[in-house]
Amino acid sequence: MKSKTTLLYLFSLLSLTALGQVGIRTIQPTADLEIVSNPTPGADNYNGVIIPKVSALPVTGDATFPKAAQAGLILYLDTTDTTKGIYMFDGTQYVKLEAGALAGAFFNTGTTTIATTTTANVQRTGNLSLGSSLNSGRLNLEILNSELVSNAPEIGLRIANANKTTAAGTSTYGILTENTSSSGVKFGIRNVVTSAGNGNKTGIDSEVTPSSTNNAVTIGTQSNINNVPSGASGAIVYGFSNFMGSLNGGSTSIGYNTKSGFGDIVSQTNYGLYSEVGRSTSRGTKYGVYSKALNTGTENAYSGYFVGNKFAIRNQNESTGYDLTVDTGTAGQVLTSNGDQTTSWKNANANGFKTNIRTISGGTALSTDHTLIINGDISIPDAVTSNAGQIYIIALGINSNNRVITAIGGDFRYPGDANAFSTYGLNNNGNGTRGITIQSNGTDWYIIDVLRN
């Protein structure tokens, strides 16, 4: 009890002005105040100093809030939460004195100054691992199989970007990767999903919800290949390359190398697959779709299989072409066009054989003509290669007589005759010729049939 009284007495002297150094349990203090520990403090006696305890720190405006001159003042905040601890007044505010820490693990970006705030942009030069000691990458995240199910998160990495900028031309990214390495095989993203487990497996699942307030384009997956060198001889460039390994020969699984699906979008144009290659000034062979399906030959291998109620083919400008029928047709029918971009199956001999027939009084026969009823002199085009196979049946019209047919190329010819001639006359006289049938071999018009009186 005596020691406690003596200590209390000595501390009370501290409130007095002291011009020298003060020592407790020493008569030779080496500092303004030096306390020497008691080697045998006894029961319920402890070495050390207990500073004033408060249940709440003074705040600015309180009469007890210190001034700048009191910088260095210390208090112990005695609470039941994590704010408990020793606080020092730095001249403007109370700062909690935390446990000593090692040298900083992060620097302020672009400096070697240790980052001390939670809002600073920071950097480090080593690899960072979360969840385990895995350090094969710059940033490593691992959820161990040994972790309790109740504690292990289901998501390895989650990024939420709620940037609300509306500035024109501004892009936001959930993930932006740049691979600028100069050698070796390069990947922008490589994703590996193992066979473990019996659940469904997806390599990449992309979900995009279109805006309901404007006409912005919405793309589920977009891949761009830029600036292919013109001198890169033999280079192979794939906008999209997908490979599916072999399924077990006895497997009943269905394999889709690429599968595209669409829900019901009312009153809108939908594309399961939209492919556009090159432009009007492009060079080289182009394939909008190139498909190859191979197998042993004992089973079906479809290079293309289409299901729908239309199948269309158009020219490069989409100005002409056909909508091909998707009906099966019947045995012996032939595919015909109505001349207005629509095709259908027709019986080859339905309603007899029909072809073009036209009555003319002059001019030159057309490539679309077949049977001509003439009431005047006419001409036949030159029997050039483009006319090879063309057949004309030419006959006199009603009350027509003495009409001349002129071959512009001077190339009428009887079979077996070496001489060609340029005109042929039709008349209804006693033994006259009322009609002829001619066909071009690409050089001459052969007279293959004659109708006489």
Residue 402: partners with Cβ closer than 8 Å, 6 or more residues away: 425, 426, 427
Could you write out the DSSP letters of every residue in 115-140? P-STTS-EE-SS-EEESSS--SSSEE
How confident is the model at residue 297, as a pLDDT?
87
Q: Would you give the end-to-end CA distance of the chain in angstroms?
A: 159
Co-location of 431 and 365 in the same domain: yes
Q: Which residue has the higher pLDDT, 430 or 79?
A: 79
Between 80-84, 86-90, 150-154, 277-281, the lowest mean confidence (pLDDT) is in 150-154
How confident is the model at residue 341, as a pLDDT?
87
Co-location of 390 and 348 in the same domain: no
Mean pLDDT, to the nearest integer, of 314-319? Answer: 88
- Specify if 344 maps to a domain: yes
Co-location of 390 and 421 in the same domain: yes
- Specify if 440 maps to a domain: yes
Indicate if the pLDDT at residue 101 is higher than 90: no
How confident is the model at residue 3, as a pLDDT?
47
Co-location of 405 and 445 in the same domain: yes
- Specify if 234 maps to a domain: no
**Where does a domain end: 354, 389, 408?**
354
Residue 246 DSSP class: P
Mean pLDDT, to the nearest integer, of 190-205? Answer: 85
Indicate if the pLDDT at residue 99 is higher than 80: no
Co-location of 32 and 91 in the same domain: no
Residue 372: partners with Cβ closer than 8 Å, 6 or more residues away: 357, 358, 359, 360, 365, 378, 392, 393, 394, 395
- Specify if 116 maps to a domain: no
**Where does a domain end: 32, 67, 96?**
96
Indicate if the pLDDT at residue 449 is higher than 90: yes
- Specify if 432 maps to a domain: yes
DSSP element (H, E) containing 378:
strand 378-380
* Pick from 284, 191, 179: nearest CA to 235: 284
Mean pLDDT, to the nearest integer, of 13-17? Answer: 53
Indicate if the pLDDT at residue 267 is higher than 80: no
Query: Which pair of structure tokens corresponds to residue 419?
Result: 């001489």
Co-location of 418 and 371 in the same domain: yes
What Å distances lie between residue 295 and 244, 251, 300, 374, 389, CA to CA? Answer: 15, 16, 8, 60, 41
* Pick from 130, 133, 126, 81: nearest CA to 106: 126
Distance of alpha carbon 74 from alpha carbon 215, whole angstroms: 64
**CB atoms < 10 A from the CB of 89, how many?**
20
**Where does a domain end: 29, 61, 96?**
96
Cα within 13 Å of Cα(60), Cβ side: 4
Co-location of 12 and 87 in the same domain: no
User: Residue 154's pLDDT band (boundaries 50, 70, 90)?
Assistant: confident
Q: Which residue has the higher pLDDT, 339 or 238?
A: 339
The residue segments making up the domain with residue 382 are 357-452
Kindly report the backbone phi and psi dihedral angles of residue 2, in degrees, each rounded to the nearest multiple of 5, phi listed first: -65, -40
Q: Which residue has the tokens 């309180």?
A: 62
- Specify if 106 maps to a domain: no
Co-location of 315 and 386 in the same domain: no
* Total number of domains in the chain: 4
Query: Which pair of structure tokens corresponds to residue 395?
Result: 């006959």
- For the full predicted model, state whether its pTM sits above 0.75: no
Could you write out the DSSP letters of every residue in 71-127? TT-EEEE--SSTT-EEEEE-SSSEEE-PPP--S-S-EETTSSSBP-STTS-EE-SS-
User: Residue 255's pLDDT band (boundaries 50, 70, 90)?
Assistant: low
Co-location of 54 and 37 in the same domain: no
Q: What percent of the chain has pLDDT over 90?
A: 32
- Specify if 277 maps to a domain: no
How confident is the model at residue 100, as a pLDDT?
61
Indicate if the pLDDT at residue 432 is higher than 50: yes
CB 438 within 8 A of CB 445: yes
Cα within 13 Å of Cα(444), Cβ side: 16
Between 112-121, 229-238, 244-253, 430-439, the lowest mean confidence (pLDDT) is in 244-253
Query: Which amino acid, one-letter code, is at 98?
Result: E
How confident is the model at residue 405, as a pLDDT?
97
CA 344 from chain centre, in angstroms, equals 39
How confident is the model at residue 1, as a pLDDT?
44
How confident is the model at residue 2, as a pLDDT?
46
DSSP element (H, E) containing 324:
strand 321-324
Co-location of 333 and 363 in the same domain: no
Indicate if the pLDDT at residue 114 is higher than 80: yes
Q: What percent of the chain has pLDDT over 70?
A: 85
Co-location of 64 and 44 in the same domain: no
- Specify if 159 maps to a domain: no
User: Residue 235's pLDDT band (boundaries 50, 70, 90)?
Assistant: low
Co-location of 405 and 321 in the same domain: no
Q: Which residue has the higher pLDDT, 348 or 351?
A: 348
Mean pLDDT, to the nearest integer, of 317-340? Answer: 88
